[in-house]
Amino acid sequence: MFMFDPKLLVGSAVLAALLSGCGGSSSSSDDAGTPPSGGDDGVAFSFVESTVADLHTSLETGGVTCEEVVQGYIDRIEAYDDTGSTTELNSVVAINPEAIIDAREKDLNFAVTGIDGPLYCVPVLPKDNFNTEQMPTSGGALAFQYNQPTRDAYTVRRMREAGAIVLGKANMDEFAFGFRGESSVRGLVKNPYDLTKGSGGSSTGTGTAIAASLALLGTGSDTGGSVRVPSSLNGLVGIRPSLRLVSLDGIMPLATWQDTGGPMCRTVEDCALLMDAMVGFDTSPASNQRVSFEIDARLINNEEEYEQVTGVPETYTEFLDADGLDGARIGVVRDLFGTNDSVLAVMDQAIANMEAAGAVVEDVTIDDLGTILGDYQSMSSYEFRHDLEEYLNSWPNTMDGHILDYDELVASGGYLDSYKSGLEFRGGIDLNNLTDEQRVVYEKNTIERPVFVRERLMRALDNLDVDGNPLGEAYDVLLYPAITGLAGDLGNSPSAGSNNRLSPFSLFPALVMPAGMAEDLEPAMPVGMEMLGREFDEETLIKLAYAYQEQFQPRVAPTFTPEL
């Protein structure tokens, strides 16, 4: 049963007992989650704040087995996320019943294969709108609780090929509609830094779970901030890639025109590894990997054309340069800073840190910023019905009996009451038969908007005036707070502002990372900063973010979810 049931989580010990004949071992109730000794020479694995490199070192030295890693994270979910626990974060929908089996298979073959992939034995929590053949995909809605796709999303398959293990599914704001972080499947997600606060959205569960070290890595999807807002509120690195770089195949859509999947991690180096796994040419007609940014551009035909269009590197890890800020040029968009004193203080310190690391940091103005953020809008209201029905009809319902029709979804009532009016409104728009008034709005935001916004962002990045004359040397990235406020009270959206619109409106990539902690709050809370770069220049974002991370260590772990 997919609808949240504590047995889905608490049953991990039972599952381990049932599988005891398969080889390997599992942690007992007395030492659940405790890093195993691994013998005299083995490097023990710590579940809190560990990286992929830490995991692989422990595996290679015999400090831990893959099964012990997976079981340890399941134990942490039971302790910190499950109904009845002291924290009850509500960030995980359910555990993958085959995760332990996958881990044991790796252990059985380890003597022969060793670590045979960059994500070998890495437990990953995908947002619950990524298709997984081992688990249903609900999008947070009870109406979809039994939706069982017949194959993995392209990105999930790529992660498995790199050696990852799908640990379970992360909770999310239902249908990816907003920033509150609530679903009818699992309820409100709590912020692990302050349990009275929310965790943003819509990739809410991923944000909380990765921040609380309930898995090693996670994925989110971002239409208008859904990776970046929860990453900011949870002290994570979150990347919204350039549109078209990551295939949309198998990701439940909100608005295909500006949807993308992206990694959410505790460190830049882990996000670089996850980016390597998520990118790549996909032959699926649902990939949305087009030859240019125009909405009517044809799909890319082959691997060679994909590489020519995107310039994707062999690995993003080659750009992990601890001195990457030295000589970097950063344009600060002061018009996006807002008025929150806590955010301003942390951002000012982050800018001073960058200058101390050798970066040139200058204020920059984006022409017509008010028009960009005020006159244009997301197209989720226009595309949701059409794109959702295409997604629901992408696999047969003969086995799972899932809903195929949007009107049937609305009639089912299997969603939050507060989202009924939004569903009905979106259901009244037929993308294939727009009214004249609707078509004007749609074309303004899919044809006019990207050209208008991209031209102005490129002028800011290239440091040019309105006539194209140089004002100085070009900038590597634009910098501003990820959101202009802080986490809202549980059940309320954060004070996000409109900064999250620049990346989806331009289709340019953006990376959010911790700028530092707002120490004037009790408890202290993470403040995220966002760097926006040129199209398909994720490399520069990763280089600058890694340098900031390594030199200033801005991430602080939450105190409510320590080692078991």
pLDDT at 5: 46
The encoded tokens of residue 381 equal: 């209201």
- Torsion, Cα 84 89 93 97, to 10 degrees, reads -70
Are β-strands 477-481 and 329-332 bridged in parallel, bridged antiparallel, or unpaired? Answer: parallel
Mean local confidence (pLDDT), 18-25:
36
Identity of the amino acid at 227: V
Nearest to 217 by CA among 73, 115, 335: 73
pLDDT-derived band at 30 (thresholds 50, 70, 90) equals very low
Look at residue 420 in the predicted model and tell me its pLDDT. 96
Q: What are phi and psi of 264, to 5 degrees?
A: -135, 120
pLDDT band at 28 (very low <50, low <70, confident <90, very high): very low
Q: pLDDT digit string (tens) for 297-310?
A: 999 999 999 999 99
pLDDT given for residue 82 in this prediction: 87
Q: Say whether pLDDT at 36 is over 50.
A: no
Which one has a higher pLDDT value, 36 or 263? 263
Q: Please choose, from the candidates 486, 537, 473, the residue with its C-alpha nearest in 3D space to the C-alpha of residue 515.
A: 486
DSSP state of 528: E
- Specify the pLDDT at position 11: 38
Question: Nearest-CA neighbor of 543 among 260, 239, 302?
Answer: 239
Mean pLDDT of 62-74: 98
**Cα torsion angle, 47, 160, 255, 536, sign:** positive
- pTM for this entry: 0.93
State how far the Cα of 439 lies from the Cα of 446, in Å rounded to an integer.
10
pLDDT, tens only, 163-189: 999 999 999 999 999 999 999 999 999
Q: Is the pLDDT of residue 368 over 70?
A: yes
Helices (DSSP H) in 221-356: which residue ranges? Answer: 228-233, 268-278, 303-310, 341-356
* pLDDT for 243 beyond 50: yes
Q: What mean pLDDT value characterizes the chain?
A: 93
Copy the structure tokens of residue 25. Answer: 């071992």
**Portion of the chain with pLDDT greater than 70, in percent:** 93
| DSSP conformation class of 486 | -
Measured distance CA(264)–CA(267) in Å, rounded: 9
- Judge whether residue 545 has pLDDT over 60: yes
pLDDT tens, 333-342? 999 999 999 9
| Tokens found for residue 342 | 């806590």
pLDDT, average across residues 111-128: 98
Measured between alpha carbons, how far is 82 from 74 in angstroms, rounded to an integer? 10
pLDDT 10s digits, 247-301: 999 999 999 999 999 999 999 999 999 999 999 999 999 999 999 999 999 999 9
User: b/e map of 363-380 (b: 16 or more CB within 10 Å)?
Assistant: ebebebbeebbeebebbb
In degrees, rounded to 5, the angle at the alpha carbon of residue 214 between the alpha carbons of residues 210 and 215 is: 70
Per-residue pLDDT at 300? 98
Worst-scoring range by mean pLDDT, 78-87, 321-330, 365-374?
A: 78-87
For 182-206, give one letter per residue: b (16+ CB within 10 A) or e.
Answer: bbbbbebbbbbbbeebbbbbbbbbb
Q: What is the pLDDT of residue 40?
A: 63
Q: Across residues 517-523, what is the average pLDDT?
A: 96
**2 pLDDT more than 90:** no
Mean pLDDT computed over 243-248: 98
For 85-94, 299-308, 395-404, 544-553, which range has the lowest pLDDT when averaged over its residues?
85-94
- Which residues, including other chains, have CB under 8 Å from residue 340's CB and lie 6 or more apart? 484, 485, 486, 495
Is the model more confident about 275 or about 33? 275
What tokens does 9 get? 């989580």
